[in-house]
Structure formats: C-alpha cells, structure tokens
Structure 1
Amino acid sequence: MSLKIASFFFILVISSLFRASFQAFLVPITKDSATQKYTLPVYLRTPPRPVNLLLDLGATFTLIDCSRNYASSTYHSIPCGSSLCSSLGPHSCSVCSGLAGPGCSNNSCALRFTNSGARKSTVMGEALMDSMSLPVTNGRNPGPLGTIHDFIFSCTKGPFRRAHVKGASGSAGFGRSKLSVPAQVSKSFHEKLLFALCLSGSPAAPGVGFFGSPGPYYFYPEIDLSNRLTYTPLLSPQLSDEYFVGLTSIKVNGKVVRLTQHKGVLPAKISTMTPYTTLRSEIFKALAEAFVKESAAANLKSIEPVKPFGVCYDADDVADTPAGPAVPTVDLVMQNEGAAWRIFGSNSMVRIFKGGVDAWCLGFLDGGNHPKSPPVVIGGHQMEDNLLLFDVGSKRVGFSGSVLVHGTMCANFNFTKEETLL
C-alpha cells in the first residue's frame, strides 16, 4: 500500500471516529465586569491563533480587528462576481475606503453589517474567509480543536472599540443569519442549526456556549440541563437577524400585571448587548408598582432608588435563598400555554454598593416610549445562570429558568480538557 493511500485511510478512520463521538462544539463565555457584556475566545488563522470576541447575539456576521500583523496561509477575499458573493445577499464592491482587511481589492465582495445595540447602525465591510477552530465536546469536557474551513467574516479598519470591552478584538455575530458563527459551524459539519448559551454572572468563572447539538450538556454535579428546557416559538420580525419571543403577560408572585396599553402578544427581544431587561415606560411602571406592592406584603420597604434603577431595598432587610435574594418572583409568560420563564431574585435583583448605600435593586429598567424599539428587551443579567437553547432550524427557543434551583450554575461546566475525547 502506498504512503498516499495509507494516509488517506488514516484520515478516513480519524474522521469516522470524530463523527462517531462528536456531540457539539463549545466556547467558554466570560463576563466583562466593566461593561456587563460577554466575550468568547475562538481560534482564527492557519496556524490557529486565539482571538477574544464580543458576543453579539443579534449581529449579522463576525468582525475581526485585522490591523495588527494579520498573517495566515488560509486567508483570502471573495471576488465580487463569484456565485458565493451573490449568495451572501445585498453587497457592493469598492469598499477598501471603509472596513477592509489586509490586501483589500476593489473587486472584493462586501457584507452589510447591522449591530444589535440600543442604537442600531449599518456599515459595509469586505467579505473575507479564513479557518476558524473551536474545541469539540462530548457534553462533559472540551476536547481537541475542530476546524471550520472558509469561515466568512469581515475586518475592521482599525482597532475594535465598539462597546469598549477590554481585550476584545472584534465581535462574534450570533444572529439569525447564514453568516453567523452558529450557522457557519452547523453548516460546516452538517449539524442542526442550533446553539445554547449558559452565561455566568461571575467574571472569575466562565459560562459556556454549545453549537450543533441539543445536548446533553452536563454541569457539576452531573446534571444534564438539556432535560430542563421549556420551549416557546421564535417570532420572525422583518428585516432583523435578532431573536424575538412572544409574551402574553407578565406576572409578579403569580399575579398578572395589568397592562392597559398593550393587548395580545408582546414582542420581546433577547439581547446580550443589553445588560438589564428594558421595558417600555408604561410596562415598567406597571411592573414596578406590582413588585413594590408584593414586596410590601412581605414586609419589605423600598428606599430611595439608585440610578439607573427605579426600585431598591436596603440589603440588610432582604433575606438570602439558594436562588438569590428573597423577593417576589417575576414570570414572563410565553405564547405556549403554561410556559413561563420564572425569574427569581438572583436574576431580578442587582446588588449595589454606592455612596455608602448597600442595596438590592430591581434589575428591570425604564426604556422610555420609543415606538420603533421593542416593548421588551430581555437583557444579559436575566439570562445569567439560565440555559437558553436557540433552535433556529425549528424556530423555537428553549429556556430552563434559573439553574440554581437545580443545584448547579452556568460556571459549573468542567473545562478540564479531555485529550482522549476522539
């Protein structure tokens, strides 16, 4: 047998072993305490080099800072007239004066980028390709790197500064787009288009993201959180790559909050770029009033609020529970009958130490009355220590509720590398 044939069969065997044991790809996700946003590491280029990216749940595609000595044997642009360029949607050429990568050509395909922050903006960037690698996992440990060849992204013209996250060299787009990180990972390995996020609230202990598999996802002590999910449909707003679910009501301590100006389904966006859940003014006021009323019934008296929060309590007056401070529960009732995302004190309250004040404050904010903004934006704080499964292919979202009540947390995934995973 020739060396070439032997090599071919060796690669085939390794590939078969990989497919047999493959469960998902994963990334650790770390909270940036200064901005209350989240970052994740990926391996880019050939040979692979780590790069830390801002997690943008609603962004169309990935932006990378290529301004400092970007070198890779697998890096290349996409010609304007190519079928691949045409498949990427609306584009233009001659973008080298805007966002561009090394060796930009005025015949390069371009991408249209829309961020998902409070102030939306759209920019153009050159469409580029390179190899990206992520660890594979069996649901318990990370294993060797698996490579996504010809990963499509764009370069920023200069150093990445959006959101001012220290150490971030770009943003990872997780939106409902075929150019998002989850979509490209799933397509590369012919896996289902879905991903799961389990965000940790501690900057010292990362949470985790999974790509391509509905589970199992094991957290110490041997708890598979994929079995704890309730599902609700994904809404499909026009011209948006963001994730929306429908709320039929909001409850405090099981009692429906009266919303006089809103009937039917409330669109609620899920966002990692919004630190705290933001509500349209009339919704916030109704929720705050109901929360204060239920708290008073439990002998909790509100104090002067600490901005930007509207309801606060002296920390000494609030008892502790395994699911956080002992305060009224908040339920986001979904379209599915009986499906409610219950928010306990760990996710509804924020500890504030400011000007000699030690307080627990309601972590829901008044978002004003902007008709073009979603009535509800579910923020990162409410997502922490909750497992969220975005099943894009089936157009649904699974949510676990607080995993603290199951005796674990999102920081409890075992990141000890398993070399024999394959």
Structure 2
Amino acid sequence: MATYSIFQLFIFSFLILKSLSQTHPSPKQPPKSLILPVSKHPSTLQYTTQFNLGTPLNPQTLLLDLGGRLLWIDCENGYNHSSTYRPGLCGSAMCSAAKPIFGCELCLFSSSKQGFCNNNTCLVAIENTITTTVQFAEIAIDTISIGPFTMVPNFIFGCASAWLIKGLDSGINGVVGLGRTRIGFPTQLTSRFGGTFRRKFALCLPSSTSKSNGIVVFGDVRYVFYPNYNKSKLIDLTTSFSFTKLLVNPVTTADDVQGEPSADYFIGVTSITINKKPISQINTTLLSIDKNGFGGTKISTVKPYTVLESSIYNLVTENFAKELEAMNVARVAPMTPFTECFSTKNLKYNLVGVEVPNIGFVFENEDVYWELHGANLMVEISREVVCLGLLDGGLNPRTSIVIGAHQLEDNLLQFDLAASKLGFTSTLLEQEVECANFIV
C-alpha cells in the first residue's frame, strides 16, 4: 500500500479544495447554472432526476416531465416533515402563481404522521402524465437543494397523496415539471436567482439503463463533452446548434388545467423526409395547431417512443419499408408495441447505430431540419430483429406528432425560453460522444 507524507497530503487536499471552488459557486453568490443528473429506468423506460427537498435534506427521485406544469411529490410517504415547509394559504402569492382551481378548502387528505393536512389552503389539479390520472393537491413551498452548495428557498410545489404516484417506477416520489408555466421548474429557478441566471435549459437523455447518466443543465453554460475514445480530449458543442422556433399552443393539452396555454414545447414541423426525400402525401393541415389546440408537433420525455397520427404513421412506415426493401432487408413479424420489424441479416452498424434510412423533421425551410439516425430510430429486439421505434397514435389525436424519448437520446437540446427557440444538435454519437460524457 502506498504511503504519503504530511506535505503530500496537504498539497492533495489543497488541490481538491481549489478544484471544488472553481467548479461550484460560493454559497453566497447566485449561480449562473445548475445541473441535475438524468437516469433511465430499464423496466418502464422512465427518466428520472434527483435532488433534495426540505430541512433537513430529504432526497427525492422524481420523474422528468418536459411538459409538466410544476413540481409535485407524494407528501404522504415520500416526504419527511420539514421545518421549512409552508402550506399555500388562500390569498397568498404562491396560490396566485399556481392558478388554483378552487377557493379555500379543508384538508385534501389525511396524513397525521406527516402533518401535511392543512385547512385554508388552495388546491391545484395535477396530472400523472404516465397514467393520465388527475388529482387535486395542496400548494406548498419548501427549500430545494441542488448539488452541495445551492439552496433554493420558497420553491412552489404540489403536495399530493400516495395514490397519484401509481404507475411510476418503484422509488419515484413524484414529478419534476419543466413546462412553460410560471411555476415550472426552469421559470422558478430564473425568478429565484435573477438576471445572471438565463431563462434556458438544455436536455440530454441517456440511452443506457445501467452505465451512464444524462443531464439537465439550467442557465447558461458551455456544453463541453469528451469522446469515448479519449477522456482528456474536449469537444465544445456550444455553437453546434441548429435552431427552430418554440411555438405556443394557446389551448392546454393537459388534463389537469383548463383556460391557459399548453405547458408543452411545440415546434413547427412542416414536412418529413426519408433519406432526405420528402413525403409529399402528408396532410399538412395536421402539422399545424388549429384554433382548438389540435394538431402540431410537441416533444415529450414521458412518451418512450414517437407517436404519429395514423395517416402520417402509415406514410412514414410505408416509405421507410420501401427504402429498406431496396437495401434487401427482409421484413419480419411485428413485435409489440411495434408493427414495423426487420431482420438484421443484411444490416450493418456504424457510429450512429444500425445503418437504416434516416428520418428528418423539416422546420421553417428545407435548410433547417432535425435528422434521426439508426440509434434513435430502431429498437433492438434481439440480435436478429430490430423494429422501427414509432407508434400509431390513431385518428384525430390531440397532437399529430409527439416526438418521444427514444428519439431524443444522446441528442443535445437547448430550450431557450427567453428567445422562444429550440436548439438541437442531432445525434452526438457521430462524434463518439454520449450524454454521460458531459464535463461538469
């Protein structure tokens, strides 16, 4: 075993402390950015993050919901009593921000061991978007802690009962909503830290369920990664984004609130290509948001795979299969939940996954498009079979295209709320980079 002198230990300790002081802001200075880890659960394909809530610190594992209106947790079983907890009393500023659905109410649920049943509190409707169930929940505030130094006091959240977390993976205590609302997670962080904390966040979902984490980065940073083949090499992707507008759907797309714009992030897809060939037969009226809030394209982290309106789905899968047929790739029997499955016998693999036709979402003009490659298109069922990771959403769905999580993995997305635009890089795998390779 190696031995060290007192001088060596002193130098080592000094370097560690110096590194920490450079990496993390002083507790007295507001941060310019904050980072949350993102994990993928293998059984449910749900994406979660972790931080602490309350005083003393109470670790929380929460579902990451890109379009969720707010942070909510199970206050019956997943939240120990906190000295900094305060109920949202009727008439308070936090109630006004949360847009309660009723006036003052009696206890929402009985929870004598926790002490979170309060009279004269305002209620909001909150939704478990995995199960699409809705519950009324008390509004409250408490302190959240992100990393070793950053405390965010008076954070508004919904205090729900244990019933609402049914359908979430084991160990998940609630939901972090990143949606475009006054009490969405990104907006609350910006309002707490002021002008130096930019109203933007970046999302990078991990593709692995075991070895790696992704990230959500709030505020303004440089997006620097290292390639898998050399951890000492730096790849700066800060200026590598293409941009498209973030659209506002004026009608809510959620089941938990009415009378306000959707909290979801919509983008203006104008056409779809297969190997850069436009699919001309698509009914383009489905790609626009109508006056009732139907149609259009949104991005989701709670849908495991992209869901397309039936006529769009049929055209995309038909054209995709024709391209594979020309490559002498054989179709095989469907594998639930997928209908389009293929033999891997004549398929090859490269840095971006299996070599299949690329699918592109075209935006304002033909020069702005987001192209999906093999790793984001195909789902490996076995060594012999892969399936196209798209699902049929039926006729007349609320939203015509919902871009799901599998299509987002190892892509870096930047949601600039102040400028109302989305930055996207396409797959990082082209540079042998994964979301887990972000340099903190």
TM interval, short-chain normalised: 0.7 to 0.9
Select 2:238's aligned residue among 226, 231, 235. 226
Aligned residue number for residue 69 of structure 2: 60
Q: Does 1:250 align with 2:272?
A: yes
Per-residue CA distance 1:168-196 (angstroms, 9 max, x = gap): 11111111111111111121111222111
C-alpha spacing 1:175/1:16, structure 2 compared with 1 (3 Å): closer
C-alpha spacing 1:182/1:336, structure 2 compared with 1 (3 Å): farther
CA contact (8 A) 2:180 2:264 kept: yes
2:359 partner letter: V
After TM superposition, give the deviation of residue 227 of structure 1 in Å: 1.9
Q: Does 1:36 align with 2:58?
A: no
After TM superposition, give the deviation of residue 375 of structure 1 in Å: 0.7
Per-residue CA distance 1:361-413 (angstroms, 9 max, x = gap): 111111111x2421100000000000111111211111110011123111212
Aligned residue number for residue 5 of structure 1: none
After TM superposition, give the deviation of residue 91 of structure 1 in Å: 3.3
C-alpha spacing 1:49/1:298, structure 2 compared with 1 (3 Å): same
Q: Does 1:182 align with 2:223?
A: no
Local SS of the residue matching 1:398: strand
Distance 1:96 1:318 in 2: 60
Per-residue CA distance 1:150-208 (angstroms, 9 max, x = gap): 01112221265343312111111111111111111121111222111100010121111
Local SS of the residue matching 1:43: strand
Q: Does 1:400 align with 2:425?
A: yes
Aligned residue number for residue 321 of structure 2: 292
More strand by share: 1
Aligned residue number for residue 10 of structure 1: none
C-alpha spacing 1:162/1:414, structure 2 compared with 1 (3 Å): farther
Q: Does 1:380 align with 2:405?
A: yes
After TM superposition, give the deviation of residue 262 of structure 1 in Å: 2.9
Q: Does 1:125 align with 2:137?
A: yes
Aligned residue number for residue 106 of structure 1: 119
After TM superposition, give the deviation of residue 19 of structure 1 in Å: 8.0
Distance 2:198 2:149 in 1: 19
Aligned residue number for residue 97 of structure 1: 108
After TM superposition, give the deviation of residue 115 of structure 1 in Å: 4.5
Residue pairs, 1:199-214, within 5 angstroms: 199-204=205-210, 205-213=212-220
Q: Which has the higher contact order (CA 8 A, sep 6+)?
A: 1
Give the number of aligned pairs: 387
Aligned residue number for residue 134 of structure 1: 146
CA contact (8 A) 1:271 1:377 kept: yes
Q: Does 1:71 align with 2:81?
A: yes
CA contact (8 A) 1:265 1:335 kept: no
Higher mean C-alpha deviation, range 180-189 or range 87-96:
87-96
After TM superposition, give the deviation of residue 339 of structure 1 in Å: 0.9
After TM superposition, give the deviation of residue 316 of structure 1 in Å: 3.1
CA contact (8 A) 2:343 2:384 kept: yes
Distance 1:302 1:333 in 2: 28
Higher mean C-alpha deviation, range 241-250 or range 121-130:
121-130
CA-based RMSD of the aligned residues comes to 2.3
Aligned residue number for residue 146 of structure 1: 150
Distance 1:235 1:31 in 2: 28
C-alpha spacing 1:91/1:99, structure 2 compared with 1 (3 Å): farther
Higher mean C-alpha deviation, range 84-93 or range 204-213:
84-93
Select 2:168's aligned residue among 158, 164, 171. 164
Per-residue CA distance 1:47-95 (angstroms, 9 max, x = gap): 2221100111111111112223622111111210224422332332215
Per-residue CA distance 1:271-297 (angstroms, 9 max, x = gap): 111000010111011001111111122
CA contact (8 A) 2:309 2:397 kept: no
CA contact (8 A) 1:274 1:380 kept: yes
After TM superposition, give the deviation of residue 264 of structure 1 in Å: 7.6
After TM superposition, give the deviation of residue 350 of structure 1 in Å: 0.4
Residue pairs, 1:337-352, within 5 angstroms: 337-352=366-381
Distance 1:107 1:192 in 2: 35
Q: Does 1:334 align with 2:363?
A: yes
C-alpha spacing 1:98/1:269, structure 2 compared with 1 (3 Å): farther
TM-score relative to the length of structure 1: 0.86
Local SS of the residue matching 2:167: helix
Local SS of the residue matching 1:64: strand
Select 2:338's aligned residue among 309, 330, 336. 309
Distance 1:27 1:255 in 2: 38
CA contact (8 A) 1:39 1:55 kept: yes
Distance 1:324 1:359 in 2: 14
Higher mean C-alpha deviation, range 380-389 or range 67-76:
67-76
After TM superposition, give the deviation of residue 313 of structure 1 in Å: 1.4
Aligned residue number for residue 293 of structure 2: none
Residue pairs, 1:275-290, within 5 angstroms: 275-290=304-319
1:329 partner letter: N
Local SS of the residue matching 2:386: strand
CA contact (8 A) 2:273 2:362 kept: yes
Aligned residue number for residue 95 of structure 2: 85
